[in-house]
Chain A
Amino acid sequence: MRDRLSFYILRESPIHRMNPLTKLTLVFSLILLAFLGPVEWLAILLFTTVILPLSFLAHVGREFLSATARLLLPVIGFLFVMQSIFLPGGGTALVQVWVLDITLENVNIAFVNATRILTMISSFLLLLLTTHPSALMSDLARRGVPGPISYTVTSTLQILPQMQVKAATIMDAQRARGLETQGNLMKRIRALLPLVAPLVFGSLVDVEERAIAIEARAFNSPRQKTSLVEIDDRPIDRRIRWGLILVVIFLLGSRLWLK
């Protein structure tokens, strides 16, 4: 149950050893470059020459590819259909479907957008596959991200699967009392209310108790928090981060200067 929302796979690799902030910097650099970079084909270039090789360097290539495919194929498929059909503006018609022209220009736009989304999602996926959520959060907390923010992120990862279990229990209980949950769309929608109300009110009570429980453990203490897990931040990490920032500035700047 615990691993349901955490993508993390424990392996031994240079990417796993990398400081979480370095990986986060890498992710944001890739996203910035993919969306704002000087050339449109940069996104696909970054995916094929940076993200994909890194995933194999991290020994998570297989998991990376299958998760990327599962997450992105539906989105990209939808995007292609919508953009190639519905984007306005004429151009070179490739195929004609009913009254709609699929133009080369629109397919091109759809392709660029798809590769940008691919870069964005897959780089985050690489981060999540190689970084333990608590390592990421304690590293960010150490660098001054407020405790409540990192708590909210890590606790959501843990509590959402618990909510699913609870929802299933309530659903079973309501079904045992004769509530119809199967059938057509209207029936299913009507079945939602007796599920949502106990789930929401029950969760509010839980939230109060949990707030007491973490207060009782000095969560709001003004003392400087420490961290049990030691997270490496080697000189090379710092150099990589600065390097990435320079590359981003250079490439985004080149776009401005070249105009």
Chain B
Amino acid sequence: MAQVTINNLTYTYPLTEEPALREISIEIQAGEFLAVIGANGAGKTTLCYTLSGFIPHFFRGELQGKILIDGLDTANSKLYEIVEKVGLAFQNPFNQISGSKFTVYEEIAFGLENLGLPRDEIRSRVEWILALTGIEDLAERSPYALSGGQQQKVALASILVMKPGVLVLDEPTSQLDPIGTREVFQVIRSLAHSGQTIILAEHKMEWIAEFADRVLVLDKGEIVRLGTPQQVLSDINLLSSGIGLSRYTRVAHRVNQQKLWPKGQRYPISLQEATEAFGRLLSQEGGSKK
């Protein structure tokens, strides 16, 4: 059975007319990495809140359809039951710091204290996650005296330390500089390799192309595409849904507009693919000139 099942989900925020999500159905397998892309306002954040139980337990509104996580029906469960199964990290690293702890070590332990784990278990788990996320050197610092990238890694560690079966990440790097982004994605990469189920809403196509098993495209609250990154991210029609494709794809499209791109060949989505495709193109051209 799939770890996450969303069946015919439609959700409308309070005091709004238009649904933010319409008839969403998808199954996510254990260990899968699903990327969710879409323009601003397409429903990415709403989907993340729905998956982590904050809809309908924190934001009210009208929810139809069903979400099952490890067999737990989120609409009929308590939020505290859901958060033990689904971890949520989001954009603003600053607002994810609990504010009641004075060191990073205590900050990461906060969730485990709330779960009532014994002290020894808390210590061993915190030390395990500090090593996994590569922030051992921050352990005794104040969580507020960190850079954005460091804070986001602390926020991630604080969620991961609770060992959620499903990790939901809502644009975790949107407020970070390129260095912070790379640091956070390195953590995400090692999680993906360890078999963690991850659902990531993100704009940065290069990173998605590298990690995701499947890509889901949202437009005005509906699923418009679902497939492998190669299928989805090379589709130039996505530009009309307000999605910025990677520079590799866009360059290939420009070349195609000048009728220089081989017919029927898929656009590249990563540096690796672009190097190969353009390398072939150039060597053919060199060959024809000789």
Contact = CB atoms under 8 A, between A and B. Distances in A.
Interface stretch (B22-30, B90-98, B188-196, B249-257): B90-98
Given A154-B100, A215-B54, A228 B83 contact: no
Interface residue range, chain B: 35 or more
Interface in A127-151: 132-134, 137, 147, 150-151
15 contacts: A137-B100, A154-B101, A155-B99, A158-B100, A162-B144, A206-B94, A211-B58, A216-B88, A216-B159, A217-B98, A217-B158, A221-B114, A223-B116, A225-B113, A225-B116
Nearest to A137: B100
From B58, B83, B114, B122, name the one whose CB has the most chain A CB atoms within 10 angstroms: B114
A160 to B, nearest CB: 10
B222 interface: no
Contacts of B113: 225-228
A158 B100 CA distance: 7
Interface in A225-245: 225-230
B117 interface: yes
Contacts of A211: 58
B92 A209 contact: yes
Interface string B147-181: 00000000100110010000000000000000000
Contacts of A151: 98, 100
A197 interface: no
B98 A228 contact: no
Nearest to A152: B100
Interface in A179-228: 206, 209-228
B145 interface: yes
A218 B112 CA distance: 8
A217 B83 contact: yes
Given A155-B98, A158-B100, A220-B80, 11 more contacts: A158-B99, A214-B98, A215-B79, A216-B83, A217-B83, A218-B111, A225-B114, A226-B113, A228-B109, A228-B123, A230-B119
A210 B119 CA distance: 25
Interface residues of A, number: 39
B95 A219 contact: no
Contacts of A176: none
B97 to A, nearest CB: 8
A18 to B, nearest CB: 20
A8 to B, nearest CB: 9
Contacts of B96: 209-210, 213
Interface in B94-133: 94-102, 105-106, 109-119, 122-123, 126
Contact of B100 (A155, A216, A222, A225): A155
Contacts of B97: 213
B225 to A, nearest CB: 29
B70 interface: no
A2 interface: yes
B50 interface: no
Contacts of B83: 215-218, 221
A225 B158 CA distance: 16
A215 B115 CA distance: 12
Interface string A18-42: 0000000000000000000000000
Given A2-B145, A217-B159, A228-B109, A223 B99 contact: no
A45 interface: no
B52 to A, nearest CB: 7
Contacts of A97: none
A214 B115 CA distance: 12
A236 B99 CA distance: 33
B99 A210 contact: yes
Contact of B106 (A134, A214, A215): A134
B87 interface: yes
A82 interface: no
A221 B80 contact: yes
A226 B116 CA distance: 5
